[in-house]
């Protein structure tokens, strides 16, 4: 764990699950025991997004940025984040409250993110990715019983250390292998959101944008903005079965505040137009280029 993070108490629009770490000694092959049934309430007003991540997710609150992008596109969503420093898919799986959320069937979209340093334990990574997919399969059975379609599942491809292209290549390769092996035969599609590839391309591009904090690991404001753009693009395209219009992409906010209860708004990102546009052009190159042809 590189540093301790102070997580802000989220407002009603972005809920941070403050779970206790129950069931840490649970069997590798069976879910931890929980003392309460999975929730049965059905949410229909807005699509609900669940982000299971770690410090790379919660610094600058990338899920909140994604939520703001959806609002800007005229498609409001609810975003719920469960993220702790150094969190792995294994520890998410062995947290009773989180597993209840995963199995509840209340979420329309679920994003899974592994800790980037788990590259040293690829088999363990794939194993818990498989177990969480099985939990989501049970969630989809609950959704089907309520007349709801299956939840969509995405894998957040981590990015490597600053200027370490070999590390990024390993992470990209490991993500692909783990997703393919974990999902063999279960019938659940789980696209990989290429956050790491976008980080690599940004570092190789002409625009010199600082994507990292001083520790060369956690994202800067620009890095979190790139993460959110990557998530937003793939989730929107998959959920709504349509591409984003250039007009919508261009008007995505470059400054986003987080308004916590009883606190002054905190600036999550505040980028200049040049930096924000460079990142948009990188993520949405095809969409924006198509517009230029006419």
For residue 26, pLDDT beyond 80: no
Going by pLDDT thresholds of 50, 70 and 90, the confidence category of residue 186 is: low
Q: How far apart are CA 154 and CA 188, in angstroms?
A: 10
For residue 248, pLDDT beyond 90: yes
Could you give the percent of the chain with pLDDT greater than 90? Answer: 51
Tell if the pTM clears 0.85, that is, is over it: no
For the chain, report the end-to-end CA distance as a whole number of angstroms.
Answer: 50
Domain 14-24+42-292 sits in which CATH superfamily? SGNH hydrolase (3.40.50.1110)
Q: How far apart are CA 208 and CA 17, in angstroms?
A: 36
What 3-state DSSP class applies to 258?
strand
Residue 231 to residues 96, 180, 206, 265: CA-CA distances in angstroms? 26, 20, 23, 24
**Sign of the CA dihedral running 30, 28, 127, 22:** positive
């Amino acid at each position: 764990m590189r540093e301790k993070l102070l997580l802000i108490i989220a407002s009603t629009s972005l809920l941070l699950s403050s779970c206790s770490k129950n069931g840490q000694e649970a069997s590798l092959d069976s879910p931890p025991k929980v003392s309460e049934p999975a929730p049965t309430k059905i949410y229909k007003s807005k699509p609900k997004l669940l982000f299971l991540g770690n410090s790379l997710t919660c610094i600058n609150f990338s899920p909140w940025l994604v939520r703001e992008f959806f609002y800007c596109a005229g498609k409001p969503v609810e975003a719920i984040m469960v993220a702790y420093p150094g969190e792995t898919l294994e520890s998410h799986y062995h947290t009773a409250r989180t597993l209840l959320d995963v199995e509840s069937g209340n979420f329309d979209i679920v994003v899974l993110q592994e800790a980037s340093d788990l590259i040293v334990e690829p088999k363990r990574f794939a194993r818990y990715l498989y177990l969480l997919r099985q939990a989501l399969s049970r969630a989809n059975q609950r959704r089907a019983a309520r007349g709801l379609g299956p939840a969509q599942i995405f894998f957040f491809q981590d990015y490597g250390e600053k200027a370490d292209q070999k590390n990024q290549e390993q992470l990209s390769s490991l993500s692909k292998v783990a997703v393919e092996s974990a999902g063999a035969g279960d019938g659940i599609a789980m696209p990989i959101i290429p956050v790491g590839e976008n980080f690599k391309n940004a570092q190789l591009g002409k625009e010199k944008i600082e994507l990292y904090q001083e520790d060369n690991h956690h994202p800067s404001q620009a890095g979190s903005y790139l993460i959110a753009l990557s998530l937003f693009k793939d989730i929107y395209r998959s959920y709504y079965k349509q591409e984003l219009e250039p007009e919508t992409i261009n008007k995505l906010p470059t400054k986003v505040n987080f308004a916590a209860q009883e606190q002054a708004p905190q600036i999550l990102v505040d980028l200049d137009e040049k930096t924000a546009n460079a990142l948009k052009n990188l993520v949405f190159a095809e969409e924006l280029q198509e517009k230029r042809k006419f």
